[in-house]
Amino acid sequence: MNVEIVNEPQPPPKRGSLVAGCHILLVEEKTGKTVNEVKTPGYFVNEKRLREESKY
């Protein structure tokens, strides 16, 4: 029996349109000391995109 090997179609690359991310510093104006910093969820999505190599 002949077996034909068929490559399965590859799923499309991951896409998510425009992602906006912010890394926010909260700084005491009088002293210049950073009292808090916040990264928005979009920031982490961008970081992941930049780290991840294309799988397709």
Partner 1 sequence: MAAGFGLTAAADASITRTILGVAASSYASPTTNGLYVGLFNTQFTNSTKAGATEWVVASDGSYARQQIGAAGANWTIAAYANGIGVVWTNSLQVTFPGVTLNNQTLNSVGFIDTVGPTGGNINVFSDLSAPTPVNIGIQVIFAGPSPGPNGISFTTY
When asked if residue 11 is in the footprint of partner 1 (CB under 8 A), the reply is no
Sites for partner 1 among residues 19-48 (CB under 8 A): 19-30, 35-36, 38, 40-43, 45-46
Place of tokens 């920031």: 43
Secondary structure (3-state) at 48: helix
Cβ atoms of residues 23 and 44 within 8 Å: no
Q: Is position 13 an interface residue for partner 1 (rule: CB under 8 A)? A: yes
H or E element at residue 33: none
Which residues contact partner 1 (rule: CB under 8 A)?
A: 13-30, 35-36, 38, 40-43, 45-46, 49-50, 52-55
